[in-house]
């Protein structure tokens, strides 16, 4: 099963992932870093696109 991993250390808080896939990603109000809205979201083309468009390359889809 595929899993989304966000390296919050690398995340700049640009919100590209949120703009492309708001049903899966959001920015944490405290850290202003990307986080998942759901623990095991369905990995579809929109999620893959959000990961590939991340300027910091901090979103990884494993599996």
What is the per-residue pLDDT across 9-62, written as a single tens digit (0 to 9) for each? 999 999 999 999 999 999 999 999 999 998 888 999 999 999 999 999 999 999
Residue 55: per-residue pLDDT: 97
Q: How confident is the model at residue 1 (pLDDT cuts 50, 70, 90)?
A: confident
Fold for the domain defined by 3-62: Alpha-Beta Plaits (3.30.70)
Q: How confident is the model at residue 63 (pLDDT cuts 50, 70, 90)?
A: confident
How is residue 20 written in tokens? 């492309």
How is residue 11 written in tokens? 């995340």
Residue 2: per-residue pLDDT: 87
**55 in Cβ contact with 5 (< 8 Å):** no
Beta strands in the chain (DSSP E): 3-6, 25-27, 34-36, 59-62
């Amino acid at each position: 099963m595929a899993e989304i991993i966000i390296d919050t250390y690398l995340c700049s808080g640009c919100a590209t992932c949120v703009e492309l896939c708001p049903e899966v990603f959001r920015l944490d109000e405290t850290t202003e870093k990307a986080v998942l809205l759901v623990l095991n979201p369905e990995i579809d083309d929109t999620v893959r696109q959000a990961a590939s468009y991340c300027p910091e390359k901090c979103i990884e889809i494993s599996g």
